[in-house]
Amino acid sequence: MISYLKGKISYIDPNFIEIINNDVGYKIFVANEFSNKIKLDQEIEVFCFQSVKEDALDLYGFESRDKLYLFEKLVSVSGIGPKTALGVLSLATVEEIESAIMSGDASILTKVSGIGKKTAERIVLELKNKFSTEKNIPAGKTESQSEDADVIDGLVGLGYPLDEARDALRQIDKKIKGGEQKIKACLKILSK
């Protein structure tokens, strides 16, 4: 089982990278945001999940153990495959995804291709208690989380890509309160 690789990047695609380690090339499927951060010939460390199927042996790579851990939890849910789980990790940070699941907010998951409302609710149902008990965090959606989800939905509705909307929301001053004020602040960032 391959669980970790360190080597030079020899090829970058939006969906996968190739790492050379001891003259052996490994094709590793990664989230878009990970492949966008790296450069050719860069030396990197990748935490891996090895998927074994009847007709394939695939590697999925992550820049941190936290992302690998969340990925493993997602693929443990019936009906969620590695590529769908990778799509979930492309949506937001690990903390935002875990927080949404713990608070029972399945709406963030439905933004992934292949995950409908019922599947998203199943993910929340199966993982909600695992996260809250492991991290000793009480489950329950906060008003701020709900407001942030509404801000992101509003920005996406205005035509901004989901990842840009999330990045803008992360950049605004934490003292700003209220959905309307947050949207205004995000629009200033996005217009630059």
Query: For position 180, what pLDDT does the model report?
Result: 83
- H-helix or E-strand spanning residue 45: strand 43-52
Mean pLDDT of the chain: 84
pLDDT digits 0-9 by tens, 149-159: 778 778 877 88
Prediction pTM value: 0.68
Q: How far is CA 180 from CA 94, 120, 152, 164, 185, in A?
A: 26, 28, 11, 18, 9
Asked if pLDDT for residue 142 goes beyond 80, the answer is no
Place of tokens 């963030």: 108
Query: For position 21, what pLDDT does the model report?
Result: 92
pLDDT digits 0-9 by tens, 65-83: 999 999 999 999 888 889 8
Q: Which pair of tokens denotes residue 179? A: 């959905």
What is the pLDDT averaged over residues 1-26?
92
Which architecture does CATH list for 65-135? Orthogonal Bundle (1.10)
pLDDT digits 0-9 by tens, 49-70: 998 888 889 999 999 999 999 9
Asked if pLDDT for residue 137 goes beyond 60, the answer is no
Query: For position 79, what pLDDT does the model report?
Result: 84
- What CATH number belongs to 4-62? 2.40.50.140
Q: Which pair of tokens denotes residue 157? A: 């509705």
Amino acid at 89: L
Query: For position 20, what pLDDT does the model report?
Result: 94
Query: For position 140, what pLDDT does the model report?
Result: 45
Asked if pLDDT for residue 96 goes beyond 90, the answer is no
